[in-house]
A = this chain, B = another copy of it.
Amino acid sequence: MSEVWKKYQEENKERFLNEMMDLLRIPSISAKSENKADMKQCAEAVKAALLASGCDKAEVMETGGHPAVYGEKIIDPSKPTVLVYGHYDVQPVEPLELWNTPPFEPTIKDGKVFARGSADDKGQFYMHVKALETMVNTDTMATNIKFIIEGEEEVGSPNLGAFVAAHKDLLKADVILISDSSLLSMENPSLDTGVRGLSYIEVEVTAAARDLHSGTYGGAVANPIVILSKMIASCHDENNHITIPGFYDDVLEVSAEERELINKAPFNEQEYKDEIGIKELYGEKGFTTYERTGIRPTLELNGIWGGYTGEGAKTVLPAKATAKISARLVPNQTSEKITKLLLEHFRKIAPSCVEVNAFEHHGGEPYGTPIDSKGYQSASRALETTFGKTPIPVKGGGSIPICSVLEKELGIKIIFMGFGLDNDGLHSPNEKYNIENYYKGIETIPYFHKYFGE
Contact with B along A289-318 (1 / 0, CB 8 A): 100110011101111111111001111111
Cα of A304 to Cα of B322 in the assembled complex, Å:
10
B353 touches A279 (CB 8 A): yes
A209 touches B276 (CB 8 A): yes
Q: Which of A202, A208, A296 has the most CB of B within 10 A?
A: A208
Instruction: Tell me, yes or no, whether A222 is within 8 Å of chain B by CB.
Output: yes
A215 touches B321 (CB 8 A): no
Contacting A221 at CB < 8 Å: which of B196, B208, B282, B315? B282
Cα of A2 to Cα of B220 in the assembled complex, Å:
41
Chain B positions within 8 Å of A100 at CB level: none
Instruction: Tell me, yes or no, whether A283 is within 8 Å of chain B by CB.
Output: yes
Chain B positions within 8 Å of A293 at CB level: 215-220
- The answer to whether A353 and B301 touch (CB under 8 A), given A213-B398, A293-B217, A313-B362, is no
Listed stretches A16-24, A73-81, A227-235; interface member: A227-235
Listed stretches A54-62, A323-331, A371-379; interface member: A323-331
Q: Which of A215, A355, A361 has the most CB of B within 10 A?
A: A215
B225 touches A282 (CB 8 A): no
B304 touches A305 (CB 8 A): yes
Contacting A233 at CB < 8 Å: which of B222, B226, B296? B226
B223 touches A301 (CB 8 A): yes
Report which A residues bind B (CB closer than 8 A): 195-196, 198, 200, 202, 207-210, 212-223, 225-226, 228-230, 232-236, 276-284, 289, 292-293, 296-298, 300-309, 312-318, 321-324, 326, 328, 352-355, 361-362, 396-399, 422
Interchain residue pairs with CB less than 8 A apart (23): A198-B215, A198-B315, A210-B277, A213-B397, A215-B396, A215-B398, A216-B293, A218-B298, A219-B284, A219-B292, A225-B323, A226-B300, A229-B230, A229-B304, A279-B353, A280-B353, A302-B315, A303-B306, A303-B309, A304-B305, A304-B309, A313-B362, A315-B398
